[in-house]
Amino acid sequence: MGGAARLTLGLLYPREMNLYGDRGNLLALRRRAERRGVDLAVNAIGLDGESTSLIATCSGFLIGGGQDLDQLAVADDLVSRKGPALAEAVAAGAPLLAVCAGYQLLGTHYLAADGTRIPGLGLLPLSTVAGGSRLVGNLMVTAAPELELEQPLLVGFENHSGRTLLEPGLPALGRVVRGRGNDGDSGCEGARLGTVIGTYLHGPLLPKNPSLADWWLFTAGAHAGVTVDRQPLDDSLEEAARHEAIAVTLAGSRQRGYRLLGRERPLRRTG
């Protein structure tokens, strides 16, 4: 991209933590950065010890989902080897977006169904315990207003057996509109603290929720001292995908629109 501004994304455990189309989040960020005049480089940060040194060079981070065995495989490396550098980067303002199992690994621990206690990084004051059934289906969440997202209604798909419990005072990413969220009962989904966001929304998350992708880019730019163009983009394709996801979630209803924060918006179907 010639003389374009440059950000570097740290992709944590891309081989082990990449279920449910999580790689789509990377592709969406790359394309969105390009449209905003930024070259987004990617550092793959895996189980090898050498990649730990790459953390300090990153503007922000992504970690995706994985099964219990995948979590167990990366947990020790994440906590003992990558953890200190990652915590330092986040404390300095680097964004970290964690999805599903990656979200669980940011808490204190995950208690698996067989009683195995998988240690977490402790960046978010929460814990997760395996439930007796899976929480599966389309998920709609109204993001907290503090995030100042252009489109606060987030859409995606959840598929998890874990019940995540937030400690008092830890804000959720948002409130569940449709679906189950953190534990199926609280009405809360995800968690956020500083520049860290964890969520069960995937499928993948960012292509259908460009406002959240922009949150990552703007936060990474601020951390790295890089100017990211904040002008509105033509998001007609992204919005079509988002509205289709909303329509599918609301399937069975004859309603042709939904009300969000007092504004009526049509549901546009594609195809």
Active site residues: 100, 202
Cis peptide bond upstream of 210, omega within 30:
no
Chain centre distance of CA 102:
9
**C-alpha distances in Å from residue 257, one per residue of 57, 59, 178, 253:** 45, 39, 15, 10
Which residues have C-beta within 8 Å of that of residue 233, sequence separation ≥ 6? 32, 35, 36, 210
Q: How far is the C-alpha of 198 from the C-alpha of 167, rounded, in Å? A: 14
Torsion angle, CA of 63/66/68/74, rounded to 10 degrees? Answer: -40
Instruction: Count CA atoms closer than 13 A to 71's CA, side-chain side.
Output: 27
Residue 132 has which token pair? Answer: 């007796």
